[in-house]
Structure 1
């Protein structure tokens, strides 16, 4: 890692490589997809709203295609995976929701955990036999405020807290990456599991809390602290293309990781706990009914 001011202009050519990006029709996902298509990748926009996805794909040119995927619905995830054929060089688990009011997915999961973690867990696990290079999962600095409650992952008995639920889901992203890499390494697979976070990036993600005070704080932060989506996508692009160690976590290098150039960053003690990662994996298998196939 010789370039400490890495930007999208440093991306390598991606001709002949296939990248699947979830939540690719806006925000960080759209920027990520646009930059990868620019350097020659075949980009598949895995999105819930295919009309918006088609509009985004037109911006990317002929190397982009759209496929329907609703991460809050295990049936949709199964249909996406069953309909896939051919290798996937890079899977980017980008889609997510943030601090939304309490709700349930189609399968009854708390919807932040269900969308941000369990949906990506099921998708990655089903697609893994086709993945040849790496899986990049987008987490957040909010993981540091998260706590995994294995006895009540879906907030069935706890008093619901939007911030706590979001933090739990982002901590789950990092624990998923850690345990996925352990299993890949044990199987002798060359595939790498990596994670990234965008710092504080001004996108439409922060405008769905349905809480006026929270939305106001987000709006002020977007103006005073945040970087734009182009900069926020850099850690994901770096993780998707650079030769970095397995299980690495990439984030911005400046102002408490809120903004700056991509670099390897640390994580909370909980996010580095291998026993907790394994326990969460086992709980995720039980909840989704999806288990890891043989990899190698």
Structure 2
């Protein structure tokens, strides 16, 4: 295997079931495509079923015979998360890969149907609940993995604002996005600590660098105007951006609790390798506190010892 890991290095995935959230576009689509091309049974977990079907058609056009299914999943609604988990449980006796990929980036202030700040609710709480509801289908499966997509933006100065988690007192869209991505890492590390004694499932995180995807649609106008000129210098396309996720999900050498990102300048772009996350993401007290708060807010308890 080359030091420059690519999708050609993905091992055979036949017999594995992979659930990919946000799989109709961007990083999620590329992740689902590569897994399907390598033989996995891939569930495209998407908010818009029609867009999911269109994405599936595009994958089949590139990988005839791909084993694909569409699952409606609206991460802005815990009722939808519970319904999706119930449907998946009735359809699959086991899950090998859960890839928490879907995300919202820097929108104007809005809330989920359950009243959570939109980015924290979708990027963290929705995925936390989904993982908790599906984990017992993964724990008995050797080599199963929960892979959560974070971001370089997790290095937010304020950390997790437990005194204003839902940005009710003040809302800074960039800070709120960073908080949600920090939460992704805190969740990954705490989940790994809890599953480690069981020896089957591992939890891993990844970030895409600066990937040119639909997430940039909510960036401020002046930033969007200059993006076309600077993007080739500092960004990469979704296919490259998905490589850290794919490596975290499939490389046999991956260890639980690792974090994968691009190997280029400032991790903006490049091939996937193990990278470091912020000091605050490794704070075990914060990990435990966020876990407890997340259980309380979602009403989902994991089938694990504390």
Structure 1 segments, 4+ long, off by >6 Å, are none
Cα distance in 2 between the residues matched to 1:219 and 1:44: 33
| Deviation by residue 1:117-175 (Cα, 9 ceiling, x = unmatched) | 00000000110001231000000000012510112111112x21000000000000000
Task: State the Cα distance separating 1:190 from its structure 2 match.
Answer: 1.6
Cα distance in 1 between the residues matched to 2:44 and 2:149: 16
Cα distance in 1 between the residues matched to 2:255 and 2:53: 35
> Which runs of 5 or more structure 2 residues have no equivalent in the other structure?
61-65
| Deviation by residue 1:209-261 (Cα, 9 ceiling, x = unmatched) | 4x312433544442331011111010000000012111100000111100111
Cα distance in 1 between the residues matched to 2:74 and 2:211: 23
Higher mean alpha-carbon deviation, 144-153 vs 165-174, is at 144-153
| Deviation by residue 1:50-77 (Cα, 9 ceiling, x = unmatched) | 0000010112224111010001100000
Q: Which of 135, 152, 168 is equivalent to 1:156?
A: 168
Residue aligning to 1:277: 287
Instruction: Answer yes or no: is the 8 Å Cα contact 2:195–2:304 preserved in 1.
Output: no
Residue 261, structure 1, aligned to residue 280, structure 2: no
Task: State the Cα distance separating 1:189 from its structure 2 match.
Answer: 3.9
Instruction: Answer yes or no: is the 8 Å Cα contact 1:113–1:168 preserved in 2.
Output: yes
Higher mean alpha-carbon deviation, 240-249 vs 213-222, is at 213-222
> Which runs of 5 or more structure 1 residues have no equivalent in the other structure?
none
What SS is found at the alignment partner of 1:83? helix
Cα distance in 1 between the residues matched to 2:52 and 2:245: 20
Q: CA RMSD in A?
A: 1.3
Residue aligning to 1:138: 149
Residue aligning to 1:207: 217
Task: Identify if the C-alpha distance between structure 1 residues 293 and 26 changes in structure 2 by more than 3 Å, giving closer, same or farther.
Answer: same
The alignment covers a number of residue pairs equal to 291
Cα distance in 1 between the residues matched to 2:3 and 2:282: 25
Cα distance in 1 between the residues matched to 2:121 and 2:304: 24
Under a length normalisation based on structure 2, what TM-score does the superposition of the two structures give?
0.92
Under a length normalisation based on structure 1, what TM-score does the superposition of the two structures give?
0.95
Q: Which of 157, 174, 186 is equivalent to 2:185?
A: 174
Task: State the Cα distance separating 1:34 from its structure 2 match.
Answer: 0.6
Residue aligning to 2:118: 111
